[in-house]
Structure 1
Amino acid sequence: MITFLGGIALLVLAYFTYGFYIEKNFQIDEKRRTPAEALKDGYDFVPMPKWKNGMIELLNIAGTGPIFGPIMGALYGPAAYLWIILGCIFAGAVHDYMIGMISLRNNGAYLPELASRYLGKSMKHVINIFSMLLLILVATVFVVTPANLIYSILPDGTVSVAVIIGLIFVYYLISTVLPIDKALGKVYPIFCVILMISTIAVGFRLLTGGFEMPNLTVATFKNLHPTGLAIFPALFFTVSCGAISGFHATQAPMVSRTCTNEREGRFTFYGMMITEGVIAMIWAAAAMSLFDGKTLSEIIAAGTASAVVNQVMVMLLGSVVGTFAIVGVVVLPLSSGLSAFRSLRTILADYLHIKQDTLPKIFAVTIPLYVVSFVLTTVDFNLLWRYFNWANQVTAVIGLLVATRYLVLKQRNYWVSLVPAIFMLYAVVMYILSEPLGLGLGLTPISYGLGFLLTAGLIYLFWHSGQKQLRRLSPESFLLNDQRPIQFYKTLDADL
């Protein structure tokens, strides 16, 4: 229990300390007009209040990641706590804040456009592919998981999973084409209240129910996975949402288009990632406290992590209240799935230069995406989850490198994003080298050494290209460009 409570306390404290430093390092400008005000269009660029932006951001980024990931991460024991705490504070929240604020400084541009601007134009095509791959996987995962959760609480034979999936697609299709303040602004605050009530209820029962909550000690700081799966790099892909997730880089720009002041950034981006970390801590603690590693592994293997969610809710809250609380979990993937489709439509439309100003144009981009996603729902969920996790963390590395390049050009402390970028890049490289989905070399001294060399080489190329960029464009020009009048925003050239 000490590790659980201490970890949550550290997460909250980090918001007021390290989060404040990250904000100061970015150098916000409260007088600077935001895209929501300068480019207001009544559809995507719509000024909304800070509290509503925070709720939308939380539901956008949460999904089932901070629940399913920690549940499966609990198989490694209390080591999962450490990754959630440190990853969230020093990697995930920094990543979310930087991408959200850089997007806000660049017309609410999405990650492919930001990568093109700060990493080079050739990167735009690569990042577009990765972003769209990630989003279609995320969207599909967040169709399948709420369908399974809803099916688990319905009486047997009431309705099939396929019918539930179809209804979710209908909901997504309607919501995707509505203005953001109607599709998200009206519904998400209600979803957020349901989420917080169910999460607090689970946490409260863990603390008051007499459950034995494992602590992180020298004895428990070891690999407790029942099948011996190595902590590195597996844990850092299993627990992504709740620690660091590239999916968030596809969502923060959506909210950057509705913020009305740069001072909102720490609450909306850094703060909501900290909140997600707290949710992840609660579910990791629930999985560790209620099940031993073998039992937890068997439940997951027999279905998906949704089966664990169902059992946790019933065991902690009873069948009636627990069933209601599952609704609080269902809203997570529903909201993130909707946001994923909305972001995917925007990125694809921008890439193909299809202006989204009429319903036929919106449907022309949206419907093919839904068809592809529907086909993917027939693929084994565990396989989808593994591909999602890999694409997710690759995108996180890209987001951190964009943040690093931005800070270098602004002559600010870039180590805050470069250090987690290097660590996650090494994890991504090792995953490709060791996993059967990649080269299948396994975790051997050779693969670790090769991974180190490849990571070092990639970081050198990144740094070398950055120095060339600095020689072409002086840091002073970037500082001056931040003071440009608002008409420059319309060229998507706020910083360059």
Structure 2
Amino acid sequence: MITFFGALLFLIVGYFVYSKVVERIFGIDDDKPTPAYTQQDGMDYVPMPWWKGSLIQLLNIAGLGPIFGAIMGALYGPVAFIWIVVGCIFAGAVHDYFSGMLSLKHNGAQFPALVGKYLGKPAQSFINVISIILMMLVAAAFTAGPAQLIAQITPLNFTVALILVFAYFLLAALLPVNKIIGKIYPLFGAIIIFMAVAIAGALVFSGQSIPNLTFSNLHPGELPLWPLLMVTISCGAISGFHSTQSPIVARTLKKQSEGRKVFYGAMVGEGVITLIWAAAAMTFFSGTGGLQAAIAAGGPAGVVNEMSTSLLGTLGGILAILGVIILPITTGDTALRSSRMMLMDSLSKASKAFQGKKGVVISTLSVTIPTILLASIDYSFLWRYVGWSNQVVATVMLWTATMYLLKNQKFHWITSIPALFMTAVVTTYIFYAPEGLGLDYTLSLILGSLLWLAVAIWFVIQLWKHRDSDIQATVDHH
């Protein structure tokens, strides 16, 4: 119990203290008009209140990620609390802040455009493809589950439910951001917060003891902690998907100082939600063994339903159904919206077909059709690839932020240290994971370390380049 409340306190203090450090290093100017005004188009660039942007950002980045990911990550035991807290404060929230604020700084630019500016065109081309594929994978993975549940509790079959979900996706992607997303997302954002607070309250007063910190790996399946935990719990710690969502809200902010509350604050909010669900999962089922049995019986959705109904009664059952249906759908629709925006940004200069209102329709259909086909694939298969590609995107975003800080002679360690850490995660994971090369664990550690070393050498070279340019600039100034 002490560990849980200590972790909660660290997250709150992290927001009020470290977010201000990050904001000061980045540098803001409230006298400079934001893209919501300078690029206002009534479609994507629309000024909105910061509190509404915060709830939209929370729902965009959260969905079922901080619930399902937390449940799967809870299998490792209380050590997951460390990753949630440290990852959220020093990596995830920093990642989200820079992805949102760099977008705002560059007229609402999408993530691939930011990568191109600070890491070069080859990196932009690579991340453009990876990001759009990630968006479609997320939309597909977060569509099949809700459609299956709708088919179970209504007279509709799976195909009809899938069509209805994608019909909504099309509306949300085609209509101006303030018409659907701006109106109903704050309400849904409030639902996910209420769910977490209600579960936390019921858990504390249930008489069950939330396990305290142990550094042992308690996974019943004996899966290695490194680097699997860092991929299993992404939402709530650090998630590259967020960097694709932040530009949606960056195009609606009225002033730069709102970025700390919207981007850093929403990520800390997601960290709190993840912490609550992880604690509830490992407590309610009396340890990781019981949790694994519950997951095997009904999947993460079944675990959510059982905990919610048992701890909150009828209200809990209703919330569980709302959560499992609404939350992934509201993540899927903004995933498609983001992929549509990325496609337009990358192709609008080359073809008039991707410009204006016509471009919006063509781009939306271009990403929706393959997503519908992907939605028919097994959810667990899709999710494995979402996890890896997601953390690759997160790592690239952290390196993008690092190069921004280096080029502007700012304190880069707030992003370069998390970037180095996440590089180690993804380089090891790709060798070991089943969706990667599936190699022996020890061999994966060795090969991952060698690949990480190559990236670290590249980074040292960048440090020397910018050191030399800074010295030359100083000489020229004098």
With the length of structure 2 as denominator, give the TM-score of the two structures: 0.93
1:435–1:442 contact (8 Å) kept in structure 2: no
1:9 partnered with 2:3: no
The one-letter amino acid of 1:386's match is R
1:301 partnered with 2:296: yes
Q: Counterparts of 1:198 and 1:245 in 2: how far apart (Å)? A: 22
Distance 1:404 1:285, change over 3 A: same
The answer to which of 462-471 and 125-134 deviates more is: 462-471
Q: Counterparts of 2:266 and 2:343 in 1: how far apart (Å)? A: 27
5+ long unaligned stretches in structure 2: none
Q: Counterparts of 2:174 and 2:449 in 1: how far apart (Å)? A: 45
Residue 18 of structure 1 is matched in structure 2 by 18
The one-letter amino acid of 1:274's match is V
Residue 277 of structure 2 is matched in structure 1 by 283
2:249 corresponds, among 250, 255, 266, to 255
1:140–1:376 contact (8 Å) kept in structure 2: yes
Q: CA deviation at 1:447?
A: 3.0
2:103–2:247 contact (8 Å) kept in structure 1: yes
Equivalent positions of 1:6-405 (< 5 A) are 6-151=6-151, 154=153, 158-216=155-213, 220-291=214-285, 292-353=287-348, 358-405=356-403
1:148–1:306 contact (8 Å) kept in structure 2: no
Q: CA deviation at 1:287?
A: 0.6
Size of the alignment, in residue pairs? 470
Distance 1:408 1:358, change over 3 A: closer
1:108–1:257 contact (8 Å) kept in structure 2: yes
5+ long unaligned stretches in structure 1: 478-496
Equivalent positions of 1:482-493 (< 5 A) are none
Q: Counterparts of 1:227 and 1:400 in 2: how far apart (Å)? A: 32
Q: CA deviation at 1:149?
A: 4.7
Q: Counterparts of 2:435 and 2:141 in 1: how far apart (Å)? A: 18
Deviation digits for residues 334-366 of structure 1, max 9, x if unmatched?
221111000000101221225665544322222
Q: CA deviation at 1:257?
A: 0.7
- SS of the residue corresponding to residue 130 of structure 2 reads helix
Q: Counterparts of 2:271 and 2:431 in 1: how far apart (Å)? A: 29
The one-letter amino acid of 1:401's match is W
Residue 433 of structure 1 is matched in structure 2 by 431
Q: Counterparts of 2:234 and 2:130 in 1: how far apart (Å)? A: 17
Q: CA deviation at 1:122?
A: 1.7
- SS of the residue corresponding to residue 122 of structure 1 reads helix
Q: Counterparts of 2:347 and 2:336 in 1: how far apart (Å)? A: 16
With the length of structure 1 as denominator, give the TM-score of the two structures: 0.90
1:423 corresponds, among 411, 421, 424, to 421
The answer to which of 42-51 and 360-369 deviates more is: 360-369
Distance 1:320 1:53, change over 3 A: closer
1:411–1:475 contact (8 Å) kept in structure 2: no
Q: Counterparts of 2:405 and 2:472 in 1: how far apart (Å)? A: 10
- SS of the residue corresponding to residue 180 of structure 1 reads coil
CA RMSD, aligned part only?
2.1
Q: Counterparts of 1:127 and 1:440 in 2: how far apart (Å)? A: 24
Deviation digits for residues 24-54 of structure 1, max 9, x if unmatched?
1111111111111111111111111111111
Q: CA deviation at 1:3?
A: 1.3
Deviation digits for residues 425-473 of structure 1, max 9, x if unmatched?
11101011112322222211x4323222211212322443565578789
Q: Counterparts of 1:99 and 1:321 in 2: how far apart (Å)? A: 35
Identity across the alignment (%): 46
Q: Counterparts of 1:199 and 1:193 in 2: how far apart (Å)? A: 10
Q: CA deviation at 1:422?
A: 0.7
Q: Counterparts of 2:257 and 2:94 in 1: how far apart (Å)? A: 15
The one-letter amino acid of 1:279's match is I
The one-letter amino acid of 2:130's match is F
Q: CA deviation at 1:240?
A: 0.3
Q: CA deviation at 1:160?
A: 2.9
The one-letter amino acid of 2:376's match is T
Q: Counterparts of 1:466 and 1:371 in 2: how far apart (Å)? A: 44
- SS of the residue corresponding to residue 48 of structure 2 reads coil
The one-letter amino acid of 2:397's match is G
- SS of the residue corresponding to residue 228 of structure 1 reads coil
Q: Counterparts of 1:439 and 1:380 in 2: how far apart (Å)? A: 20
Q: CA deviation at 1:144?
A: 2.1
2:64–2:323 contact (8 Å) kept in structure 1: no
Q: Counterparts of 1:8 and 1:466 in 2: how far apart (Å)? A: 36
Q: Counterparts of 1:151 and 1:78 in 2: how far apart (Å)? A: 36
Q: Counterparts of 1:199 and 1:462 in 2: how far apart (Å)? A: 40
- SS of the residue corresponding to residue 186 of structure 1 reads helix
2:36–2:47 contact (8 Å) kept in structure 1: yes
Distance 1:243 1:336, change over 3 A: same
Q: CA deviation at 1:150?
A: 4.2
Q: CA deviation at 1:371?
A: 1.8
Q: CA deviation at 1:369?
A: 1.8
Q: CA deviation at 1:303?
A: 4.6
1:195–1:329 contact (8 Å) kept in structure 2: no
Q: CA deviation at 1:99?
A: 1.1
Q: CA deviation at 1:182?
A: 0.8
Q: CA deviation at 1:140?
A: 0.9
Distance 1:222 1:148, change over 3 A: farther
